[in-house]
Chain A
Amino acid sequence: EPEVTQTPSHQVTQMGQEVILRCVPISNHLYFYWYRQILGQKVEFLVSFYNNEISEKSEIFDDQFSVERPDGSNFTLKIRSTKLEDSAMYFCASSVGRTRRTYGYTFGSGTRLTVV
């Protein structure tokens, strides 16, 4: 069964450093998303991406965040200057498209980001 692959599974970074979280969505999917889950809290939507641009972003997704699809397969989330409160599990997901309502989303296994 096709998978969404995320790397690395765990990343530790110093406060103020830039991090890039990587995702390889399912190849025929058109929509891509990032979510985060702070330990012990709900999953939260960060951003959706379609046709090489952001479709929607939440208020969490401020100027320190950016997303990119640098080639045909990778989908990245960059955090420019990490803060302690960015420590969380970050999930990538993808879906076929808006009209294929019978198909759900496929999530990656997550990247646990720890900012120290």
Chain B
Amino acid sequence: KNEVEQSPQNLTAQEGEFITINCSYSVGISALHWLQQHPGGGIVSLFMLSSGKKKHGRLIATINIQEKHSSLHITASHPRDSAVYICAVGYYGGSQGNLIFGKGTKLSVKP
């Protein structure tokens, strides 16, 4: 069964802390996505990657294809980073858009 597992489920951090959220998957993938879901429910795409590392501002995403593992890092965390972070994968054999989603990691950054 195709699965995407995220850890931790919940994460509370103090402002300024370095944060890591992990994602493991069980199938060969064409791409992995990191998404941010705001408290109001809207989803924003943060990264789409199939190898290596990507950086955008204070966010860094890495992927290790051999280990079927990805991490999302947030440097110098801020209360506005509080959201649910979702890992999703597009798997080989699936069409464009047929993503398997993780349950999400709820991040709360305290001032």
Contacts and interface: CB of A to CB of B under 8 A. Distances in A.
A48 B45 contact: no
B95 A48 contact: yes
Given A104-B33, A107-B44, A109-B40, A31 B96 contact: yes
B102 A55 contact: no
B101 A44 contact: yes
A84 B101 CA distance: 23
Taking chain A's interface residues, is the majority helix, strand, or loop, or is none over half, making it mixed?
strand
A103 B40 CA distance: 25
Interface size class of A (residues with CB under 8 A): 20 to 34
Interface in B24-79: 31, 33, 35, 40-45, 47-48, 50
Nearest to A42: B101
A53 B102 CA distance: 28
Interface residues of B, number: 25
A110 B44 CA distance: 11
Interface of A: 31-33, 35, 37, 41-45, 48, 50, 55-56, 58, 89, 91, 93, 95, 97-98, 101-110, 112
A43 B101 contact: yes
Contacts of B33: 104-105
